[in-house]
Amino acid sequence: MSEKYVIEPLDTQKHDRAAFSSGVAPLDTYLKTQASQEVKKRVAATYVLCEQDSSVIIGYYTISTASIETTQLPEEITKRLPRYNALPAMLIGRLAVDQRYRGWRLGEYLLVNALRRCLKLSQEIGAMAVLVDAKDEGSAQFYERYGFRRFEDRPLSLYIAMVEIQQLG
């Protein structure tokens, strides 16, 4: 699959954001109107999935830094970590696939790419987990299939430890 597609940073001069439609209005609006501004302001990095030599955006995800309050994590994780009030993490803030490409497992392709990118970045800036905020129960279950766990007090917020991502290969 990787020979057919490329995942690269959003380039407003190159990538056609106008045609993107995931069917989820906030995700579509974000890509079309906010993503480039957040990239410029260094609030989030946006990566887009396109076919080789195409400007059509098939899907995208965003990454930014975040933190987790230590009290939100189970003891099995925190017992091996420093006793800080908050620990560094990365956030996959948005992940969406155009409706025309549903069922092609491209959401999985984007997620795996995002997790690998986060793992690599964690070696340079330090982060112990990746966080996501699922938009609904179906999205939460999607993330759980890849090893994410729910926070007890916020069932649509999930995390996966970097050591678990590393074990995924």
Residues that are catalytic: 143
For the chain, give the number of residues. Answer: 169
Q: What is the DSSP string of 93-121?
A: EEEEE-GGGTTSSHHHHHHHHHHHHHHHH
Distances (CA, A) of 60 to 81, 96, 124, 164: 32, 6, 23, 23
Concatenating the DSSP letter of every residue in 71-83 gives GGS-HHHHTTS--
Query: In sequence order, which residues have a C-beta less than 8 Å from that of residue 96 and are 6 or more positions away?
Result: 20, 22, 24, 27, 28, 31, 59, 60, 61
Side chain identity at 113, as an amino acid letter? N
Q: How far is CA 135 from the centre of its chain?
A: 13
The two structure tokens encoding residue 150: 């729910």
